[in-house]
Structure 1
Amino acid sequence: MSDQSWLTEFPKLDRAQLLEIRKTLDGAYRAFSREYGDSIEAVFDPLLSFLIWFEKLLLGSPWWLVIAVLAGLAYAASRSWRLTVSVIVAFMLIGFFGMWDNTMRTMSIILVSTLVAIGIGLPVGVMMARSDRVQNIVTPMLDIMQTMPAFVYLIPVVMLLGIGKIPGLIAVVIYAIPPVIRLTNLGIRLVDKEVLEAATAYGASPMQRLFGVQLPLAMPNIMAGINQTIMMALAMVVIASMIGVKGLGQPVLKSITNQYFTLGLLNGLAIVALAIIFDRITQSYAKRTQQHLGGQQS
């Protein structure tokens, strides 16, 4: 037994020391929140205004116009009548079962958060592709972001900004942004070096090579990253509803707490429908892009 006593003698902080450290860290974060919370919140006011405007636009537009625009976008991206008809049928069923308003609210935060993720993720992915040092710094951060439980993101955001749309959007972006960063980096690094050398030989500048060669050739990978970002954003909808984000997530949360099976099932199916629609559209566009780059005009 004495030979194995080291197993139970691992050095560790006693309870009082651990409690003191936690109190110090919690106090420091609360002080930071009180001191800078309002200033940080003011930074996001333009984004909040845009999100509110976009949500009102979707809610205030006639249902037939929204469906027509979505069907047009689906056809433009996929060139598939089957997918276009599926989009029309899915959204008509959503409206028929009384989930239209919540679906529009969910779409607004998903689309805005995806735009924010793309706006941040593409430049970061490009910097990672151009610098191994940046890649070595950012990759561990992405690993943490992808492995951290989604609920944990809500804690610092809510303590800093309270509850509402912007805290929910920030949590969604943090949770969903890693795929677009990783796959942008991967796509650019996979571009054939001989193609880049040919572009350089023709006198292309670094920016011309980036926008004229690397990004177009990396587009299938980038679209795959955007696809995964949208899927992860939709997965975060129910969790974000816990901090006041309106949409399909709130009825699902309500059904869990009150055991409303049908309510949860219908709203869950609406989330699934959105996920399938966005997935098919982005995959179809990525496939068409790949065929175009391969010389096979669709």
Structure 2
Amino acid sequence: MNWLREFPAMGADALSALRRTVDDAFRTFTRQNGEALEQLFLPLREFLLFSERLLTQSPWPVVIGVIALIVWLASRNVKIVVGTVATLLMIGYFGMWVDTMKTISMIFVCTVVALAVGLPLGIGMSRSDRLQRMVNPVLDVMQTMPSFVYLIPVVMLLGIGRVPGLIAVVIYAIPPVIRFTNLGIRLVDKDLLEAADAFGSSAWQKMRQVQLPLALPTIMAGVNQTIMLSLAMVVIAAMIGVQGLGQPVLRAISNQYFTMGILNGMAIVGIAIIFDRVSQAYGKRLQKHLEVKHG
């Protein structure tokens, strides 16, 4: 019976040894490859800095006008456009313009990176059951892992700054676009695929002309969720140097500045509502267009 009493201590010792081994190996890898990794992500850093300078250094009426035009082209809804302009004017009036533009540039770059990685992976999963079985457990872990945990390996590899925060945000926010892309393509009507086969379409032609267009509304729902998760991660990523609305919120928490925290939090909510309404409206327009085209 002694081994029963010693079993918890044995497990703790084994876990401690394993933890030291993994941590030492990770630190060694970081010291040996940290500089190479920084060079690898240098184009991503330049892209982020370019988009940030574009939004923060352009005259605010021009920025609001361009954003309003994009919102109109995506939604074709006057109420959403008016709400967007009013929200941005209020953000500027309360002195949060620069931080808001930095946050929008971060969300834009994160979304672009998430789409560049997530769409091909989702398409691959839709074409391969084996790949789907391999990737789904990874996505489950990514979606249930506490968001703070993502910061640890990224900071150890790349230190503090914009790029580590961007990578942490992308890792946290990318699962929905992968899942929804896979789901949307798999839900395409089999009769339409058989008709495409009857006309002699290749696999690439079926994907480009039938499956992806019909899956776009579902994919847009995934993009919507990715954007929302990116915004949710902004405040946490501010802990490792991501500039924007997250940093004033952290200062408000540490210094008990109630008004600062509320105003910056409401600015994040305003941006989230804009992105949500625009992406939903665009998805509905796509759905109606496809119903008319194929109906």
Identity of aligned residues (%): 60
- CA distance in 1 between counterparts of 2:118 and 2:197 reads 26
Q: Which residue of structure 2 aligns with residue 101 of structure 1?
A: 98
Give the deviation of 1:25 after TM superposition: 1.3
Give the deviation of 1:21 after TM superposition: 2.2
Out of 244, 248, 258, the residue aligned to residue 255 of structure 2 is: 258
- CA distance 1:119–1:16, shift in 2 (3 Å): same
1:236 counterpart = 2:233? yes
**Normalised by the size of structure 1, how large is the TM-score?**
0.95
Query: Which amino acid counterpart does residue 32 of structure 1 have in structure 2?
Result: F
SS of residue in 2 equivalent to 1:191: coil
Q: Which residue of structure 2 aligns with residue 159 of structure 1?
A: 156
Moved more, 288-297 or 202-211: 288-297
Give the deviation of 1:12 after TM superposition: 5.6
Give the deviation of 1:18 after TM superposition: 3.1
Query: Which amino acid counterpart does residue 133 of structure 2 have in structure 1?
Result: N
Question: Which runs of structure 2 are paired with 1:97-176 in the superposition (5 Å)?
Answer: 97-176=94-173
CA offsets 1:62-94 (integer angstroms, 9 cap, x no match): 101111111111111111101100000000000
1:65 counterpart = 2:62? yes
Q: Which residue of structure 1 aligns with residue 212 of structure 2?
A: 215
Give the deviation of 1:20 after TM superposition: 2.5
SS of residue in 2 equivalent to 1:169: helix
Query: Which amino acid counterpart does residue 132 of structure 1 have in structure 2?
Result: D
Q: Which residue of structure 2 aligns with residue 18 of structure 1?
A: 15
- CA distance in 2 between counterparts of 1:32 and 1:187 reads 39
1:293 counterpart = 2:284? no
Give the deviation of 1:19 after TM superposition: 2.6
Moved more, 73-82 or 178-187: 73-82
Give the deviation of 1:17 after TM superposition: 3.8
Query: Which amino acid counterpart does residue 233 of structure 1 have in structure 2?
Result: S
1:41 counterpart = 2:55? no
- CA distance 1:10–1:114, shift in 2 (3 Å): same
Structure 1 residue ranges without an equivalent (≥5): none
- CA distance in 1 between counterparts of 2:11 and 2:194 reads 61
Out of 263, 275, 280, the residue aligned to residue 278 of structure 1 is: 275
Give the deviation of 1:24 after TM superposition: 1.5
- CA distance in 2 between counterparts of 1:188 and 1:276 reads 27
- CA distance in 2 between counterparts of 1:280 and 1:13 reads 55
Structure 2 residue ranges without an equivalent (≥5): none
- CA distance in 1 between counterparts of 2:236 and 2:103 reads 12
- CA distance in 2 between counterparts of 1:201 and 1:284 reads 34
Q: Which residue of structure 2 aligns with residue 190 of structure 1?
A: 187
CA offsets 1:205-239 (integer angstroms, 9 cap, x no match): 11111011000000000000000000000000000
Q: Which residue of structure 1 aligns with residue 84 of structure 2?
A: 87
SS of residue in 2 equivalent to 1:98: coil
- CA distance in 1 between counterparts of 2:11 and 2:119 reads 46
CA offsets 1:126-170 (integer angstroms, 9 cap, x no match): 000000000000000000000000000000000000010110000
**Normalised by the size of structure 2, how large is the TM-score?**
0.96
- CA distance 1:294–1:9, shift in 2 (3 Å): farther
Question: Which runs of structure 2 are paired with 1:198-213 in the superposition (5 Å)?
Answer: 198-213=195-210
SS of residue in 2 equivalent to 1:113: helix
- CA distance in 2 between counterparts of 1:18 and 1:222 reads 41
- CA distance 1:22–1:82, shift in 2 (3 Å): same
Q: Which residue of structure 1 aligns with residue 72 of structure 2?
A: 75
- CA distance in 1 between counterparts of 2:22 and 2:204 reads 44
Give the deviation of 1:11 after TM superposition: 5.5
Out of 32, 43, 46, the residue aligned to residue 29 of structure 2 is: 32
- CA distance 1:265–1:198, shift in 2 (3 Å): same
Query: Which amino acid counterpart does residue 153 of structure 1 have in structure 2?
Result: Y
SS of residue in 1 equivalent to 2:10: coil
- CA distance in 2 between counterparts of 1:26 and 1:216 reads 46
- CA distance in 2 between counterparts of 1:14 and 1:128 reads 38
- CA distance in 1 between counterparts of 2:262 and 2:178 reads 33
- CA distance in 2 between counterparts of 1:263 and 1:204 reads 58
